[in-house]
């Protein structure tokens, strides 16, 4: 059975190779410019992954300082006191938290589109639709995704989405600067990007680059995003990540957490002793959490000017 797409969603689709318009047909879509055919999969999903290699050129300016970083504290995320959406009736999906969801925007109107980039089987659909958005999910190979596509070559027109969500995806991207540039391109001016990325998690699922706070900031800033927060998780620590995903794989997480609890308690006590001894002058608890977290959350936006900020 073929997945059904709204007319509005079909209107934003483009050829990921040449950006030409797509002409829908019974077996899929065809690019009116380069002639590439994008078929439906056996599960009925439109396959918009690249069919031919496409060169990409990026320009970097070296020798300068990383700008605007002093304004960020890189501290654990706390729940927003001005949340735009009430998610209390909704269960928190895997990989999300109430704190991160409190920064989700509300759709401007019934035609507002959001992109779940690296959506898997669409576990975030309910919370995104609860915020009023039309849900567009894209994944590279998940059979349950509404679209198959490549984050390096998004099959969408410029300025298509008010909101982009990308949870536990960035570490699996071969060229993260290209992905960020693509996300910036398809986001509307004034739109918001929210995501998470692994730091001290073990290698998993062909992960390429696990990002520090500076690496995360740099990827966002290079693409042109205005970075509001890069926040270490104070619950998903490096110790817990190593235990659950590396040392004790497939063990229920509650048990792996119990096994490393004594070590977790000892290192937290040691941290507090260091902070107390230094009187906060050299050692800050937030810095220690930042340096040993399992993952970071990030919140960024695109300015109301469509031009690239960087």
The pLDDT of residue 282 is 61
What's the pLDDT score for residue 306?
56
Q: Provide the pLDDT for residue 310.
A: 40
**Which position has the higher pLDDT, 31 or 4?**
31
pTM for the structure as a whole: 0.93
Model confidence pLDDT, tens digit, residues 241-266: 999 999 998 899 889 989 999 998 99
Could you tell me which of 224, 193, 212 has the C-alpha nearest to residue 294? 212
Compute the average pLDDT of residues 172-187.
98
Quick one: fold of 69-230+296-301? Rossmann fold (3.40.50)
Spell out the domain ranges in the chain: 7-47, 69-230+296-301, 238-289
Give per-residue pLDDT as tens, 41-92.
998 999 999 999 999 999 998 887 766 677 788 999 999 999 999 999 999 9
| CA–CA separation, 69 and 77 (whole Å) | 17
| Predicted confidence (pLDDT) per residue in 207-240, tens digit | 999 999 999 999 999 999 999 999 999 999 999 9
């Amino acid at each position: 059975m073929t997945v059904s797409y709204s007319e509005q969603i079909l209107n934003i689709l483009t050829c990921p190779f040449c950006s030409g318009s797509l002409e829908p047909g019974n077996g899929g879509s065809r690019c009116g410019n380069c002639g590439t055919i994008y078929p439906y999969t056996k599960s009925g999903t439109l396959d918009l992954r690249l069919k031919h290699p496409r060169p990409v050129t990026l320009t970097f300016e070296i020798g300068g300082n990383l700008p605007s970083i002093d304004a960020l504290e890189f501290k654990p995320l706390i729940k927003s006191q001005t949340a735009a959406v009430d998610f209390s009736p909704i269960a928190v999906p895997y990989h999300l938290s109430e704190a991160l969801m409190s920064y989700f925007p509300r759709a401007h109107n019934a035609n507002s589109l959001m992109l779940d980039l690296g959506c898997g089987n669409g576990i975030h659909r309910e919370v995104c639709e609860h915020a009023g958005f039309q849900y567009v999910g894209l994944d590279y190979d998940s059979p349950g995704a509404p679209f198959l596509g490549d984050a390096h070559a998004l099959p969408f027109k410029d300025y298509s989405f008010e909101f982009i969500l990308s949870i536990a995806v960035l570490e699996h991207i071969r060229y993260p600067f290209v992905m960020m540039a693509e996300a910036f391109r398809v986001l509307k001016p004034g739109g918001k990007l929210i995501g998470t990325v692994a730091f001290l998690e073990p290698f998993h699922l062909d992960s390429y680059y696990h990002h520090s706070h500076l690496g995360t900031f740099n990827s966002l800033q290079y693409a042109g995003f205005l970075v509001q927060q890069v926040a270490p998780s104070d619950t998903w620590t490096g110790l817990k990540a190593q235990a659950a995903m590396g040392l004790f794989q497939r063990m229920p997480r509650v048990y792996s957490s119990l096994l490393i609890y004594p070590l977790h308690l000892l290192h937290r006590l040691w941290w507090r002793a260091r902070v107390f001894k230094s009187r906060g002058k050299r050692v800050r608890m937030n810095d220690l959490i930042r340096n040993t977290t399992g993952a970071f959350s990030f919140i960024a936006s695109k300015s109301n000017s469509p031009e690239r900020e960087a």
